[in-house]
Amino acid sequence: MTSNVVREILRETEARLAELPEVGPKTRVQITDPRNLTARAASLRSRGISPIIAEIKPRILNRTLSPDEVASIARGYEDMEACGISVLTQPTYFLGSLDNARIARKVATIPILRKDFILDERQLDEVGSDLVLLIATFSKPLDDLVEAALSRNLEPLVEVHTGAELEMVLKTDARIVGINNRNLATLEVSLETFERLGPMAKDSGLFVVAESGIYSRKDVLRMEDAGADALLVGTSLMKEPELLKALNGMGHP
């Protein structure tokens, strides 16, 4: 069960797939200098900073971003000690682009996560990033896509919403799981989703990312108490980038 918005995005993604070339030696991306999110998170934690993956999410501003704006946002996130930068590349609903991911990785030195609806291995070759979002319920066969990403030195961050989806991830070689507090059927957000699934994921040895619904330092600490190794924040930071310092503990709450 998914919302009308998600169904429309999936239809649009399927249409884009029809234009992609087949996977081959000339089209296959190989990340030669991957940036390690877990190592970056450990480094920040050693300095008392909560690891926040800060998102570039143009939809929140209801417009596309210029290359200069993307570069400025990415540099700002790095200056404020973000753990990584998530870049929405979905072009219609989220108003993102592949170029935004390229720009962010060029101007920043921290890990870049490409966030989109990845349904096919060919999408893994569209842009070079350090991590790629795979959504367990849509990115199928999940184990094949995880392997395809890892073979490119592209770290998969597999997003789940339920215990059943988490079990799917545990059967793959994925090392990072994102637990999304947003219900895909209703689009409602509840931090209790992470509190339910986070400890299970943590006990399995995965690096665990809390996603959605994080607006304050209190929310960050609540997710960390439930086992979050890092947190992905988009909406609140696009509205107020300086909030990053409050969320990660560098500024005042």
Q: Are 80 and 241 in contact (CB under 8 A)?
A: yes
Cα-Cα-Cα-Cα dihedral sign, residues 30, 32, 36, 40:
negative
pLDDT at 1: 57
- On the CB side of 230, CA atoms within 13 Å amount to 29
Instruction: Annotate 92-105 with b (16+ C-beta within 10 A) or e (fewer).
Output: eebbbbbebbbbbb
115 is catalytic: yes
- 3-class SS of residue 211: strand
Selection from 84, 107, 102, 101 nearest residue 36 by Cα: 84
Active-site residue, 159 included: yes
Which residue has 């107020």 as its token pair?
240
CB of 223 closer than 8 Å to CB of 194: yes
* Alpha carbon distance 147, 82 (integer Å): 28
pLDDT tens series, the chain, 253 aa: 578 988 999 999 999 999 998 888 888 999 999 999 999 999 999 999 999 999 999 999 999 999 999 999 999 999 999 999 999 999 999 999 999 999 999 999 999 999 999 999 999 999 999 999 999 999 999 999 999 999 999 999 999 999 999 999 999 999 999 999 998 888 899 999 999 999 999 999 999 999 999 999 999 999 999 999 999 999 999 999 999 999 999 975 4
Cis check for the bond before 141: say yes or no (omega within 30 of 0): yes
CB atoms within 10 A of CB 30: 11
Q: CB of 82 within 8 A of CB of 54?
A: yes
Q: How far is CA 12 from CA 7, 16, 81, 82, 91, in A?
A: 9, 6, 35, 31, 9
DSSP, collapsed to helix, strand or coil, labels residue 144 as helix
What topology does CATH give the domain 4-10+38-247? TIM Barrel (3.20.20)
Catalytic residue among 97, 212, 236, 248: 212
Cβ neighbors of 93 (< 8 A, separation 6 or more) are 5, 8, 9, 12, 59
Identify the active-site residue in 115, 126, 139, 236: 115
pLDDT attached to residue 13:
95
Tokens 């990584």 belong to residue: 84
Whether 212 is catalytic is: yes
Active site residue 129: no
C-alpha distances in Å from residue 194, one per residue of 103, 155, 191, 210, 228? 31, 22, 6, 7, 8
Number of C-beta neighbours around residue 25 at 10 A: 5
What is the pLDDT, as a whole number, of residue 187?
86
| pLDDT at site 2 | 74
User: What is the C-alpha separation between 54 and 58, in angstroms, rounded?
Assistant: 13
Q: How high is the pLDDT of residue 185?
A: 82
Q: Which of 159, 181, 195, 236 is catalytic?
A: 159
Among residues 50, 129, 180, 236, the one annotated as catalytic is 180
Single out the catalytic residue among 57, 100, 126, 129. 57
Residue 28 CB partners (closer than 8 Å, separation 6+): 125, 152
